[in-house]
């Protein structure tokens, strides 16, 4: 078991000809920035694609969030948006799913430490109808709780939930490189030092294709791995990661 302007150009052959040309409008940028307050340079630099923010909030996988956006179920600051290029500032913008606010503006802050059992998904919704960790906590949906990070359905362990969106962003965004510790059991022959060193230095994984991006091979970031025991054909590891890819540890030790 276990536990991220377009500038307009006026073309003219000579100055006289250019004087008679109508001014061309700047081409509209593909990405749309949504903000409840006037944008500043800092706002733009901290904005992210909407589907990434939704995924980090535990709404679903990146692909599932893209489908929610294109189907018109997501609103930003009260306005429905269907553009996958929409950018939001997760600490300022109000994001809603089917009219239910996902951000915690105006609500009392609430934190919950949950020992996630096996068989529950760490998302707000699940298109396969599996039970969510929110079903284990009274008033979780009413209070706008979202998981801080994610454990896959077969994993158990500590999972934080909160309605404090800014802290979710700070604790889960890769740029902050927060350490996450996992206790991992790998069935089979005892893992040898070269195998442990490979886990530490980085493993090649294939990332699935997403909208607008083909499948690709990535190398996991260096991590801490300690072999703490071997019994009953199971190698017991402690792994400390500072990134979070889909089912990363299971794929690394497969």
The answer to whether residue 126 is catalytic is no
Rounded Cα gap, residues 84 and 69, in angstroms: 7
User: Which entry of 43, 98, 135, 152 is annotated as an active-site residue?
Assistant: 152
Rounded Cα gap, residues 218 and 246, in angstroms: 12
User: Is-contact 29 46, C-beta < 8 A?
Assistant: no
User: Cα-atom radius of gyration of the chain, to the nearest Å?
Assistant: 22
Scored b (16 or more CB within 10 A) or e, 179-194 reads ebebebebeeeebeee
Which candidate, 180, 90, 161, places its Cα nearest to that of 121?
161
Give catalytic residue positions: 152
């Amino acid at each position: 078991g276990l536990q991220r302007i377009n500038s307009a150009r006026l073309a003219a052959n000579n100055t006289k000809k250019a004087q008679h040309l109508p001014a061309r409008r700047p081409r509209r940028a593909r990405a749309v920035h949504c903000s409840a307050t006037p944008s500043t340079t800092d706002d733009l630099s901290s904005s992210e694609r909407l589907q990434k923010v939704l995924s980090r909030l535990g709404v679903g996988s990146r692909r599932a969030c893209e489908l929610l956006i294109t189907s018109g179920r997501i609103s930003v600051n009260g306005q429905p948006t269907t553009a996958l290029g929409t950018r939001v500032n997760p600490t300022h913008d109000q994001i809603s799913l089917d009219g239910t606010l996902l951000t915690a503006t105006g609500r009392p802050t609430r934190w919950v430490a949950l020992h996630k059992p096996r068989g529950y998904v760490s998302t707000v919704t699940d298109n396969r109808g599996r039970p969510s960790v929110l079903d284990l906590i009274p008033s979780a949906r009413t209070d706008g709780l979202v998981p801080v990070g994610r454990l896959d359905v077969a994993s158990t362990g500590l999972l934080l939930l909160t309605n404090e969106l800014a802290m979710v962003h700070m604790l889960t965004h890769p740029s902050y490189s927060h350490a996450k510790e996992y206790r991992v059991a790998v069935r089979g022959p005892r893992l040898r030092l070269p195998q442990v060193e490979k886990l530490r230095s980085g493993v090649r994984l294939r990332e699935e294709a997403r909208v607008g991006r083909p499948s690709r091979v990535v190398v996991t970031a260096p991590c801490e791995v300690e072999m703490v025991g071997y019994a009953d054909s199971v190698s017991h590891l402690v792994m400390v990661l500072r990134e979070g890819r889909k089912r990363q540890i299971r794929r690394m030790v497969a």
